[in-house]
Homo-oligomer: A and B are copies of this chain.
């Protein structure tokens, strides 16, 4: 059918085959409007028109259009495409492509950050709660953003990626369990400290062991991440609403306990 149309049209001109907008649109997946627009901005004009003004695209035009579509699939803007295809000129293709790739990578990084925030936020929000008051919600949003900004200052992108993988391996349940265990553990250690219990005492040993296990579950044993965690606790004033001054004392207490256990074991 398509062929018979072209046959008739081409018989009239006794020349090379041509295509109408609709045909071209169907072939390339673009819309007719897009093709009109490309002509409007001087990116692709049909080489001929019928007497009635209907656009007739020749083989050359189709070739050019294919190039345009290819470059569009690579995410170039129409302006950039026009520059690439300008009157037979060559251009530093590899450089252009690499620059563009760099832009895409940059966009992906910011999307990545965004996604982390959204995931952290979803994690914080009650899955069951149908209607969350706006105040509570925005409170959570702001805390998550503040937290993620601080986190991004202390961890390198590679470390963040590693933490991400670890979180996926552990699964949401396990993470919730660990987060739930921390407060009681901290409370236990605080009590022993305030009571002045010797770090070598067996009760403290048990708490310290569990403490190190939970830390290890977070860091995955990566020494770089351990250092970053340490820096964060040393330099910030409070994290998750926990006063880091007191926390530092507790960490010292726990590490004394661990050390004394290593001496004996």
Binding site for B on A (CB under 8 A): 66-67, 70-71, 73-75, 84-85, 88-94, 97-98, 100-101, 104-105, 107-108, 111-112, 114-115, 117-119, 121-122, 125-127, 129-134, 137-138, 140-142, 145
Contact = CB atoms under 8 A, between A and B. Distances in A.
Contact of A66 (B114, B131, B142): B142
6 contacts: A70-B141, A88-B134, A90-B130, A97-B122, A100-B118, A108-B111
Count identical subunits in the complex. 2
Nearest to A148: B73
Contact of A130 (B66, B84, B92, B100): B92
Q: Chain A interface secondary structure, helix, strand, loop or mixed?
A: helix
A89 B127 CA distance: 18
Given A84-B137, A138-B70, A92 B122 contact: no
A202 B141 CA distance: 68
Given A94-B127, A125-B93, A66 B111 contact: no
A150 to B, nearest CB: 14
Given A66-B138, A74-B141, A145-B73, A101 B127 contact: no
B115 A105 contact: yes
A97 B138 CA distance: 12
Contacts of A129: 92-94
Nearest to A93: B132
